[in-house]
Amino acid sequence: MKIAEVSEKYNISKDTLRWYEKIGIITDVERKPNGVREYSEENCQMIESIICMRSAGLSIDVLKNFFNLLKEGDSTLEQRRDLLLEQKRILQESYDQLSRTMEKLDRKIQKCEQLIIDKKQNK
């Protein structure tokens, strides 16, 4: 797939794809003799992983570290697992905080709704 197709398919800018390649997160993108990038199925799977990990809140540095470990092969499996577990723990903390915030907002909304009902009944 050409960069424009990948950009459209994954809703990610061409500049971002080029930047991910430049900093070494996306690797082994083939180039045609005229310099046009040709993304393979493996590249696309890597992009899907990047999008997933970024949406989970992983920083670029953590992402770079993960993909560098991935390039090193199976000897880094434990390190990659530990990195992912740590990121999952951080994400779970954020989720828990967000959940508590949503509960507080729900209580405030319910209180406002009750006050509105009471006000209408007292008219």
Sketch out the chain's domains with CATH numbers: 3-121 (1.10.1660.10)
Residue whose entry in the numeric block shows the structure tokens 């045609």 = 32
List, for residues 81-93, the tens digit of each pLDDT value. 999 999 999 999 9
In this predicted structure, the answer to whether residue 79 has a pLDDT above a threshold of 80 is yes
* Cβ-contact 81, 91 below 8 angstroms: no
pLDDT score at 45: 95
* Cβ-contact 52, 93 below 8 angstroms: no
Beta carbons within 8 Å of 60's beta carbon, 6+ residues apart: 23, 25
* Confidence (pTM): 0.74
